[in-house]
Amino acid sequence: MDNNLAERLEAVERLTKLFRTERTVYLTATIVSLVMLVASALSLMLRNKAGTAELSLMFGSGGLITYTAGRLLVMWNEAMKRLLPSDADVKGGSQ
């Protein structure tokens, strides 16, 4: 069983190395979008100018944050699936 876990850990390591650039791009886009959203909100609050156009820009960057964070979570979820025992492992181990 320990050998099987070691194989899964190696698979997760390979996946994280394979998608390192993509994760970095998504993480960078998420951080930039979040900073833009907070800066826009603060600017509008300080100047008391929260019109439709400004609020639309804020919601647009919020959508990008949601998308990129979601993609990061999908990659993390796929990596975690590799650590969990599959049905075949459970059936094979109980016989």
pLDDT of residue 95: 43
pLDDT of residue 18: 81
Is residue 62 exposed (0-12), middle (13-18) or buried (19+ Cβ within 10 Å)?
middle
**Cβ atoms of residues 66 and 33 within 8 Å:** no
Lowest mean pLDDT among 4-8, 27-31, 78-82, 88-92: 88-92
Residues 6+ apart with CB under 8 A from 80: 12
- CA-CA distance, 65 to 82, in Å (whole number)? 26
Express each pLDDT in 29-77 by its tens digit. Answer: 878 877 887 787 788 778 887 777 776 777 777 777 778 778 878 877 8
Handedness of CA 40, 34, 24, 72 (dihedral sign): negative
Would you place residue 94 in the very low, low, confident or very high pLDDT band (cuts 50, 70, 90)?
A: very low
CB neighbourhood size of 41 (10 A): 15
- CA-CA distance, 9 to 15, in Å (whole number)? 10
Is the pLDDT reported for residue 92 higher than 60? no
Residue 10's SS3 state is helix
